[in-house]
Structure 1
Amino acid sequence: MPSFNDNIIDIFRANDGVVGMHWEGKTLVLLHHVGRRSGKEFVTPLVAAPAGDAYVVCASMGGAPEDPQWVANLETATGPATIELGPATLSVDYDVVRPGDPRWEDLYGTWRAYWPDAAEYEKKTDRQFPVVRLQVPPAG
């Protein structure tokens, strides 16, 4: 049986990155990451707040008490990550930024301002959510 994320991924790919519904007007990316223990490739849909020539995604997991596995997968990976952005598949550099890092407040604020559900996620946990800055390569 397809998972919730599988359905979002199917809609994303069928519509060149436009998902609609609850995400109407928002940018989503599909983040490809490799399990640090399993070695299996995973694809995770994430709300991506534009930030200049980059995007900020957040490891909120809807306000769950623990970080999603994709954060640890990125932290242990070497080299760039792969995202699907609209119809394009791109190799991107990334930085996992955790609370306490001087950049966190600004990056998290960018994502929080972009995604209205963030305030509800914050009410569900005492955890501060790591964010990831995805650096999109220059066009051309």
Structure 2
Amino acid sequence: MLLAVCARFPPIEGCANSRISDTIKTSESHFSCRKMTSKLSIHATISADRASVSFVAFSREQAIQCNITRKALEQCFWAPAGASDERLLKALSDGYERISARVHRKFLAHPSSSVHLDVIDFSS
């Protein structure tokens, strides 16, 4: 199943191409005329055993299949222990900027078509 992470960016005064709706990409030119605070629409699925959440992120215009553990969402992104599916997805959405930054760093360090995130990835 192909999942997508998309955002709709509102028009910004003085920007010629500001009415474009794009898939999120890390290229600087894609962000030059858009507000970074736009609301994300994240398409994610919860594993059958409810132990992880899968989603697709983009790094250097490449789609990366990502997986974050329930444990990471509970310990690092304020999902309560034993949270419902909806609450897990909300934790993913609320922490998406930090999560996607981690995906990007892991991808740059070890290019791959998939990235797995766990609690250790968010430890300082």
Same fold (TM over 0.5): no
Q: Which has the higher contact order (CA 8 A, sep 6+)?
A: 1
Higher strand share: 1
TM-score computed with the length of structure 1 as normaliser: 0.29
**Higher-Rg member (1/2):** 2
TM-score computed with the length of structure 2 as normaliser: 0.31
